[in-house]
Amino acid sequence: MTASRLLWIGTYTPDSDPEATGAGIHRALLDPATGALSGGEPAVRTTAPSFLAAHPGGEVLYAVSECERGAVGAFAVSGGADERGIPGLTGIGGAPTGGGSPCHVLVHPEGRHVVAANYADGRVSVHPLDGAGALREAVAVLEHTGHGPNPARQEGPHAHSSAIAPGGRHLLVADLGTDELRCYPFDARSADPVGPLSVAARLTPGAGPRHMAVHPDGHIYVAAELDSRVHVLSCDPERARAVPVADAAASGHEGPNHPGEIALSPDGRLVYVSNRGADTIATFEITGGGTGLRRIAETPCGGVWPRHFALTDGHIVVANQKSAELSTLRLDAHGVPADTGHRLAVGAPACVLPA
């Protein structure tokens, strides 16, 4: 019998922006054999934990608080397991992000820092961690200027996510407001880890870069929220300069569409993108030695507004924000997803993080 997979679920809450019906960080179980989901109850009540990340050891979770005065919190995976043996979460402090509406959090691979992206004003905060994984006050708050051609969405910088660049020595920030991948040298072993700002890449004006998937071969795949395309960039790891080499429509849907999450398959052959509007998960085959994408499937996601998803145990688990449910898609031998029909009610799910 295959053990169930524990999933941590970030949500929007009544005191978040936007207001919604989640209660904090929820927990659920995935049956890897069938894709069935169970649980869904809150593990800890906290405000607007719309994006989650885990310490490399898995013993601490980090969650943004997506509010006007942004913060990021740390939660220890505690004893206090329920009758099913599922652990709970215990808050171990937090810190302000120095900006508004943080929507993404990254744990550096060395486990020494947490990076939070503030959507409202484009600021990015860098927080050292102590030996127990607890957050300290930000050692740097990175500001930016600029705008894009879309006056409704690009009147100023809007940091939407961060990632470690190929080569591991730079921090990339996808800025939806300026159509840029911002770049900072990053030395995790320094007391002052962040170097001077440069621009790794400029995307097509009005693209609105949101999330990134960094391939081990050095290519970067960027889901752009405003032009509904996936942009392929070839990166020089020494200088962390990236050159756009191709793009592909994120969906075959003809109406409004806003890509959400993007992720690589475990074997690095495929790229998956969630489409809000089309309500699908698109599957792309990587071609041309990494420089191209070919859409091979577009699968209904099993809900409405798939803000985020996670690949785990041969499945894609989707956070369908507007239909207030998780859904599971099974991956076949070729990596193409198909709906299992399994659903789990969770208020305004925004992020799925497998334990």
CA–CA gap between residue 161 and residue 273 (Å, rounded): 15
Residue with tokens 């809150």: 42
> pTM of the prediction?
0.97
Segment 105-119 mean pLDDT: 98
At 233-244, the pLDDT tens digits run 999 999 899 999
Q: CB–CB of 195/182 below 8 Å?
A: no
Segment 44-60 mean pLDDT: 96
> For position 152, what pLDDT does the model report?
97
> For position 33, what pLDDT does the model report?
97
Taking all residues of the chain, what is their mean pLDDT, rounded to a whole number?
Answer: 96
154 band by pLDDT with thresholds 50, 70 and 90: very high
At 178-233, the pLDDT tens digits run 999 999 999 999 999 999 999 999 999 999 999 999 999 999 999 999 999 999 99
Segment 149-170 mean pLDDT: 97
Q: Which residues are within 8 A (CB) of 221 and not within 5 positions of it... i.e. 6 or more apart?
A: 212, 213, 215, 230, 231, 232, 233, 262, 264, 271, 293
> For position 80, what pLDDT does the model report?
62
Counting residues of the chain whose pLDDT is more than 90, the rounded percentage is 94
